[in-house]
């Protein structure tokens, strides 16, 4: 252990540099405040996690007051510090110590410049491997505003593959074409009527600003009043001046009849105004069967009438089956692009390009390691890329940096991404998913799960249904299940409870 500061020198004369912004060429970073550094067993500061280097002859230490001091840490002390250096790199000079340079290695990869964006719905710095899906959306939006038939989209994929990011990007595409955009997320415990009402009202108000659509929008506001009353939606008051509600318009109390009426009014208004409307709905799997049916019927009418209305939904893989069960023609009404793990080329691009745009580099071996362990899943790529940047000594990110970041990345995922989902399960449901994980990687046969649990297959129906409703597993085929969360089986095996 390096010798601690003598009592006379609790705060060394160069300590003022800590907490200051210093410059290393084109790199900028802030050193930790002096009172935040590590302390030794005597409660006195030492080490600072610094690597000390003397560039030229190291003269005899001189106290700032001019006294030659035995109190001043000597050259050997700095050598000791070198042995305890860690992840910082920053240049600090002090007139009291000629030509002394302290490199704080963490500053080499400035955390303020970390380009990665791990988080729910955070746009990644490079949206790699999704060009075909975005092109589908561009074509649908472009055809809609030209009055041409346009198929809606339903994005299907596991958790953490970037469905929400794609919805946001498609919204941007629609806005670039000056279309009206409504975006919402289907909650687990709410009705579609309650969810849609504020957005429908906002669209009606937007259309009322166009002279050609003003009368249609006014009629639509009356229909909304009917709709809110029949479905008992708290509307917070309707503005004075709205036309009297039209009897028989969106007032039957059956969502499969009333919602298409409202969509029709919006479609007519959008067409009259020369606009289009794009409805973006996330987490579609949480919609009830009746609500999903009403939504499909509404979009079917839009297609039949040639209105400039496009819907883009996103949900777990079972949404395609749910939509088909709700209305058989749903398979022809929507396109169902799969949003899965990125292939090797796209995955490496998603990591390499952001690093290079910050003026750094990443070794090919580091990219190989990241792809192999994340299996190309976008959220994991962002997590590991972010941690690798933070731990890297710089310049650039090496294979050793990526390997060093792996335990920290895994711990962060286990305590966040995975644990949040695990904690939603009951004890009985945990037994069910642990039995799945014990079988290896999915898909998992129900017969195998029942055997692993020592239970009769018919007795597992309630647990299976509850876990599916929570969005944790889904049916891949008759009698087979799989996790909706990538690498969740590996997480369960790591827990090993």
Least confident of 71-80, 96-105, 248-257, 286-295: 96-105
Name beta bridge partners: 303.
Answer: none
Higher per-residue confidence, 23 vs 109: 109
Residue 30's pLDDT is what? Answer: 38
Residue 245's pLDDT is what? Answer: 63
- CA dist 164 and 157 (Å) reads 10
Query: Which tens digit of pLDDT belongs to each residue from 52-64?
Result: 332 233 333 333 4
- Is the predicted pLDDT of residue 346 greater than 90, yes or no? yes
CATH architecture of 131-335: 3-Layer(aba) Sandwich (3.40)
Least confident of 63-67, 172-176, 399-403, 447-451: 63-67
Residue 463's pLDDT is what? Answer: 94
CA 433 and chain centroid, separation: 24
Query: Which tens digit of pLDDT belongs to each residue from 90-119?
Result: 333 332 233 233 333 334 578 889 999 887
Share of the chain above pLDDT 90, in %: 60
Residue 108's pLDDT is what? Answer: 56
Share of the chain above pLDDT 70, in %: 75
Q: Residue 295 belongs to what H/E stretch?
A: helix 289-305
This prediction has a pTM of 0.73
For 489, counting Cβ atoms within 10 Å of its Cβ (0-12 exposed, 13-18 middle, 19+ buried), the class is buried
- CA dist 276 and 180 (Å) reads 6
- CA dist 300 and 260 (Å) reads 9
Q: What is the rounded average pLDDT of the residues 336-363? A: 94
> To the nearest whole number, what is the mean pLDDT of the chain?
79
How far, in Å, are 141, 449, 473, 474 from residue 436 at the CA level?
42, 6, 10, 12
- Is the predicted pLDDT of residue 87 greater than 70, yes or no? no
Q: What is the rounded average pLDDT of the residues 216-232? A: 89
Three-state SS letters, 123-135: CCCCCCCCHHHHH
Query: Which tens digit of pLDDT belongs to each residue from 141-196?
Result: 999 989 898 999 999 999 889 999 999 999 999 999 999 999 999 877 788 999 99
Residue 160's pLDDT is what? Answer: 87
- CA dist 126 and 165 (Å) reads 11
Q: Residue 154 belongs to what H/E stretch?
A: strand 152-156
Measured distance between the N- and C-terminal CA atoms of the chain, rounded to whole angstroms:
39
Structure tokens at 181: 């955009």
Q: What is the rounded average pLDDT of the residues 203-230? A: 92
CATH topology of domain 424-495: Arc Repressor Mutant, subunit A (1.10.10)
How far, in Å, are 399, 422, 425, 436, 464 from residue 430 at the CA level?
36, 8, 6, 10, 11
Q: What is the rounded average pLDDT of the residues 113-130? A: 84
Q: What is the rounded average pLDDT of the residues 430-436? A: 96
Three-state SS letters, the chain: CCCCCCHHHCCCCCHHHCCCEEEECCEEEECCCHHHCCECCCCCECCCCCEEEECCCCCCCECCCCCECCCCCCHHHHHHHHHCCCCECCCCCECCECCEEEECEHHHCCHHHCCCCCCCCCCCCCCCCCHHHHHHHHHHHHHHHCCCCCCEEEEECCCCCCHHHHHHHHHHHHHHCCCEEEEEECCCCCCHHHHHHHHHHHHHHHHCCCHHHHHHHHHHHHHHHHHHHHCCCCCCCCCCCCCCCCCCCCCCCCHHHHHHHHHHHHHHHHHHHCCCEEEEEECHHHCCHHHHHHHHHHHHHHHHHCCCEEEEEEECCCHHHHHHHHCCCHHHHEECCECCCCCHHHHHHHHHHHHHHCCCCECHHHHHHHHHHHCCCHHHHHHHHHHHHHHCCCCCECHHHHHHHHHHHHHHHHHHHHHHHHCCCCHHHHHHHHHHHHCCCCCEEHHHHHHHHCCCHHHHHHHHHHHHHCCCEEEEECCEEEECCCCHHHHHHHHCC
- CA dist 12 and 469 (Å) reads 61
- Is the predicted pLDDT of residue 136 greater than 70, yes or no? yes
Residue 58's pLDDT is what? Answer: 31
- Is the predicted pLDDT of residue 444 greater than 70, yes or no? yes
- Is the predicted pLDDT of residue 69 greater than 50, yes or no? no
- CA dist 245 and 225 (Å) reads 7
Residue 331's pLDDT is what? Answer: 87
For 307-327, give one letter per residue: b (16+ CB within 10 A) or e.
bbbbbbbbbbbbbbbbbeebb
Name beta bridge partners: 309.
Answer: 277
418 backbone dihedrals φ, ψ, rounded to 5°: -80, -45
- Is the predicted pLDDT of residue 16 greater than 80, yes or no? no
Q: How confident is the model at residue 251 (pLDDT cuts 50, 70, 90)?
A: confident
- CA dist 85 and 51 (Å) reads 5
CATH architecture of 113-118+342-421: Orthogonal Bundle (1.10)
Higher per-residue confidence, 241 vs 325: 325
Nearest alpha carbon to residue 279 among 354, 345, 185, 190? 185
- Is the predicted pLDDT of residue 443 greater than 60, yes or no? yes
Domain assignments of the chain as residue spans, ordered by start: 7-108, 113-118+342-421, 131-335, 424-495
Least confident of 4-13, 308-317, 358-367, 390-399: 4-13
Under 8 Å between Cβ of 246 and 220: no
Higher per-residue confidence, 51 vs 423: 423
- CA dist 352 and 397 (Å) reads 10
């Amino acid at each position: 252990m390096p010798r601690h500061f003598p009592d006379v020198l609790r705060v060394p004369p160069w300590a003022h540099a800590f907490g200051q912004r210093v410059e290393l060429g084109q790199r900028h970073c802030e050193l930790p405040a002096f009172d935040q550094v590590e302390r030794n067993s005597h409660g006195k500061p030492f080490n600072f996690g610094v690597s000390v280097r003397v560039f030229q002859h190291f003269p005899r230490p001189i106290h700032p007051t001019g006294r030659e001091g035995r109190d001043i840490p000597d050259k050997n002390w700095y050598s000791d510090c070198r042995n305890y250096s860690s992840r910082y790199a920053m240049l600090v000079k002090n007139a009291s110590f000629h030509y002394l340079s302290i490199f704080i290695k963490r500053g080499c990869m400035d955390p303020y410049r970390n380009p990665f964006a791990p988080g729910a719905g955070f746009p990644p710095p490079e949206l790699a491997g999704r060009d075909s899906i975005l092109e589908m959306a561009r074509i649908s939006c472009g055809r809609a505003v030209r009055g041409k038939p346009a198929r809606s989209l339903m994005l299907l994929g596991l958790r953490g593959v970037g469905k929400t990011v794609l919805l946001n990007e498609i919204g941007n595409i629609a806005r670039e074409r000056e279309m009206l955009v409504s975006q919402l997320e289907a909650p687990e415990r709410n009705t579609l009527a309650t969810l849609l009402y504020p957005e429908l009202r906002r669209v009606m108000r937007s259309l009322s600003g166009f002279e050609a659509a003003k009368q249609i929008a006014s009629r639509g506001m009356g229909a909304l009043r009917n709709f809110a009353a029949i479905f008992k939606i708290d509307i917070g008051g309707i503005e004075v001046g709205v036309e009297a509600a039209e009897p028989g318009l969106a007032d039957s109390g059956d969502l499969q009849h009333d919602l298409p009426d409202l969509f029709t009014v919006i479609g007519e208004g959008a067409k009259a105004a020369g606009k289009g409307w794009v409805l973006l709905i996330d987490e579609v799997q949480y919609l009830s069967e009746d609500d999903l049916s009403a939504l499909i019927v509404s979009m079917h009418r839009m297609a039949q009438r040639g209105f400039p209305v496009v819907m883009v939904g996103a949900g777990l893989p079972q949404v395609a089956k749910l939509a088909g069960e709700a209305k058989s023609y749903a398979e022809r009404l929507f396109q169902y692009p799969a949003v899965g793990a990125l292939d090797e080329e796209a995955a490496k691009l998603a990591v390499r390009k952001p690093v290079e745009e910050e003026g750094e580099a990443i070794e090919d071996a580091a990219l190989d390691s990241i792809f192999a362990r994340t299996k190309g899943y976008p959220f994991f790529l962002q997590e590991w890329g972010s941690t690798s940047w933070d731990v890297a000594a710089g310049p650039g990110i090496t294979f050793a940096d990526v390997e060093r970041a792996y335990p920290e990345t895994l711990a962060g995922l286990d305590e966040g991404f995975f644990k949040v989902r695990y904690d939603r399960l009951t004890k009985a449901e945990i037994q069910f998913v642990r039995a799945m994980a014990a079988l290896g990687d999915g898909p998992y046969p129900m017969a195998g799960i029942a055997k692993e649990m020592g239970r009769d297959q018919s007795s597992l129906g309630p647990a299976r249904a509850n876990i599916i409703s929570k969005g944790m597993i889904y049916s891949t085929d008759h009698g087979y299940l799989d996790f909706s969360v990538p690498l969740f089986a590996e997480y369960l095996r790591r827990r090993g409870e």
